[in-house]
Amino acid sequence: MKKALFWLGILLGLQIVIALTLYASNQSQDQTESRPLLSAGTLPERLVIDDGKHRADVAKVNGEWRLPDLDNLPANTSKIEGLLSKLKQTQTRWPQTTTASSHKRFEVAPEQFQRHVSLWQDGNKSIEFYLGTSPGYRQTHLRRADETAVYSVPLQNYDFPSQNEDWLDKRLIAVSAITELNGPDYHLRKTDSDWHLADAGEDELDPDRVQALIRSLENLRVQGIADKPEGDAELVLSVRAGNSDYEFRFWKNGDDHVIQRSDRAQTFTVSKYDYELLIEATRESLLRKPEAENGAG
């Protein structure tokens, strides 16, 4: 009995040694396999994202991010730089699988994927990979196009919009440093820090209402690109901002609220709130109301 226990102890000890050896080996292999998805020296000049139905193409033109398929309109630089920064921080460790037969199941195959992403530098692809299913919270399966290994990485498919309009700079028709604004029956001019109404007479501007109107132009955000409606614009606003002059034209087209700025050929949809705030402004609406003063008193 003692002899049997002795040999069982020896066997158990060997098993523990083997297990520890394998664990140490795996840990070491994990460390050697870990590598960045995007190397620090990579400076992409083009980003192409395909979901199988739609394709977004963002490229640097004269040092600025643009959308070649949308007349080279400006892209959202902070959004692009944020994504590239996230890619540089992403590491691929021990693969979940290395078999090609698993690619369709994880949706990282050329014929079945959720995102196909390629980054270009100096006219050549610097990296190409597929994003597929999610194995867990804020995790996505990833496969480099030239490898069979599939990794789980802290990326999400919605970080990679596949439609060009999702990358559009939504502030591309906003204006800042406004000094004059001409509406249908009013002419606002800024002197120092105060706004004045031309030929005001005894009328007095309501500063809150004026600031709300000015801020709506300074913070104006487009929702997307629209076809230019037929017919005359419902309203034309003339704006001086810095040393530049602009005209804003407004159309109501079905359920869409459409604006065009004079220095751009395209027309854009905006929110109903912004549209109505701008189009409904009149001289009367910008004046201080005597009844409001009496009520406050």
Q: Do 258 and 190 share a domain, yes or no? A: yes
What's the pLDDT at 33? 62
Structural domains of the chain, count: 2
Asked if 167 contacts 227 with a C-beta cutoff of 8 angstroms, the reply is no
**Long-range CB contact pairs, 253-260, < 8 A, 24+:** 253/226, 253/229, 256/226, 258/226, 258/228, 258/229, 259/173, 259/220, 259/222, 260/228, 260/233
- Please give the pLDDT value at position 290: 74
Supply the DSSP symbol for 66.
E
- Do both 162 and 43 map to the same domain? yes
Residue 18 within any structural domain of the chain: no
Given 132, 167, 202, the domain boundary residue is 167
Q: Are 136 and 237 within one domain?
A: no
| Amino acid 9: pLDDT | 55
Residues 158 and 194 grouped into a single domain: no
Range of the domain at 280: 178-288
201 within domain boundaries:
yes
Residue 193 included in any domain:
yes
Q: Check whether residue 161 and residue 62 sit in a common domain.
A: yes
pLDDT of 27 reads: 41
Regarding whether 68 and 134 lie in a shared domain, the answer is yes
Q: Is residue 99 part of a domain?
A: yes
Q: Is residue 246 part of a domain?
A: yes
Query: 172 lies in a domain?
Result: no
Q: Give the pLDDT confidence score for residue 12 in this predicted structure.
A: 53
Percent of the chain whose pLDDT exceeds 70:
86
Predicted pLDDT of residue 87: 95
153 with 222, same domain: the answer is: no
163 and 208 fall within a common domain: no
User: pLDDT per residue over 121-151, tens digit each?
Assistant: 999 999 999 999 999 999 999 999 999 999 9
43 plus 163 within the same structural domain: yes
Q: Are the C-beta atoms of residues 128 and 46 closer than 8 Å to each other?
A: no
Check: CB of residue 58 under 8 Å from CB of residue 46.
Answer: yes
Asked if the structure places residue 25 within a domain, the reply is: no
Is residue 26 one of the residues assigned to a domain? no
- Return the pLDDT at 198: 84
pLDDT tens for each residue of the chain, 297 residues long? 555 554 455 555 556 544 444 444 444 344 446 889 988 788 999 999 999 999 999 999 999 999 999 999 999 999 999 999 999 999 998 999 999 999 999 999 999 999 999 999 999 999 999 999 999 999 999 999 999 999 999 999 999 999 999 999 999 999 999 999 999 999 999 988 889 998 766 678 999 999 999 999 999 999 999 999 999 999 999 999 999 999 999 999 999 999 999 999 999 999 999 999 999 999 999 998 876 454 554
Question: Please, which residues have CB within 8 angstroms of residue 182's CB and are 6 or more apart in sequence?
Answer: 188, 237, 238, 239
Query: Which pLDDT value is given to residue 192?
Result: 84
Q: Supply the pTM of this predicted model.
A: 0.81
Which pLDDT value is given to residue 42? 84
Residue 220 and residue 199 in one domain: yes
280 and 235 assigned to the same domain: yes
Is residue 145 located within the same domain as residue 218? no
Whole-number Å distance between alpha carbons of 226 and 229: 8
